[in-house]
């Protein structure tokens, strides 16, 4: 019984290498922006940004799955991240408006909700996309993360 549960839990948390690369790249871009403002690297900021990106991707995947009849997409990381960030920020706003809890507790509630979504979702089918199919997602991340960081300079 316990071994079956651990195996199922391990299957839920297995992610593809492109998903992990996208998550780390997005968190690094956000950390670079933080570094530019504070003039020092913060491991805590990187961890918070990685958690924010992971939650955005989890909530985005749920949103796309729930709106699949109205929203035709291939489920790329960029659209998952964008939809998830909008859902996550909207839920955080609603929790902040209608609960007496602080922002940290509201974020913790949303993180718990993301964990429940991850654990209760069906196992995702094996990714059949080729490496070249991920190129638009990473180009979108590059354009939105690195180029504004360069400013008026030529990169």
pTM of the model: 0.73
Nearest alpha carbon to residue 23 among 15, 11, 12, 14: 15
Integer Cα distance of 141 and 57 in angstroms: 14
Q: Give me 67's structure tokens.
A: 């709106």
Contact 24, 10 (CB under 8 A): no
At residue 6 the predicted structure's pLDDT band, cuts being 50, 70 and 90, is low
**Between residues 128 and 20, the one the model is more confident about:** 20
- What would you report as the CA-atom Rg of the chain, rounded to the nearest whole angstrom? 17
Q: What is the pLDDT of residues 52-75, one digit of tens each?
A: 989 998 898 888 888 876 655 556
Q: Which one has a higher pLDDT value, 67 or 130?
A: 67
User: Rounded CA gap, 50 and 30, in Å?
Assistant: 9
Ramachandran area for residue 130 (φ above 0: left; ψ -120 to 50: alpha; else beta): beta
The values of phi and psi at residue 67, to 5°, are: -110, 25
40-54 pLDDT tens trace: 888 998 998 899 989
């Amino acid at each position: 019984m316990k071994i079956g549960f651990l195996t199922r839990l391990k299957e839920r948390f297995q992610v593809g290498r492109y998903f992990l690369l996208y998550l780390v790249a997005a968190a690094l871009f956000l950390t670079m922006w933080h570094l530019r403002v504070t003039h020092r690297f913060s491991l805590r900021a990187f961890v918070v940004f990685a958690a924010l990106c992971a939650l955005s991707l989890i909530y985005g995947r749920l949103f796309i799955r729930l709106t699949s009849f109205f929203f035709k997409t291939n489920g790329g990381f960029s659209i998952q991240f964008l939809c998830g960030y909008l859902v996550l920020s909207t839920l955080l706003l609603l929790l902040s408006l209608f609960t007496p809890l602080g922002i940290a507790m509201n974020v913790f509630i949303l993180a718990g909700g993301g964990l429940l979504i991850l654990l209760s979702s069906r196992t995702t089918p094996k990714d059949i996309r080729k490496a070249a199919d991920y190129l638009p997602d990473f180009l979108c991340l590059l354009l939105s993360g690195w180029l504004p960081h360069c400013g008026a300079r030529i990169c």
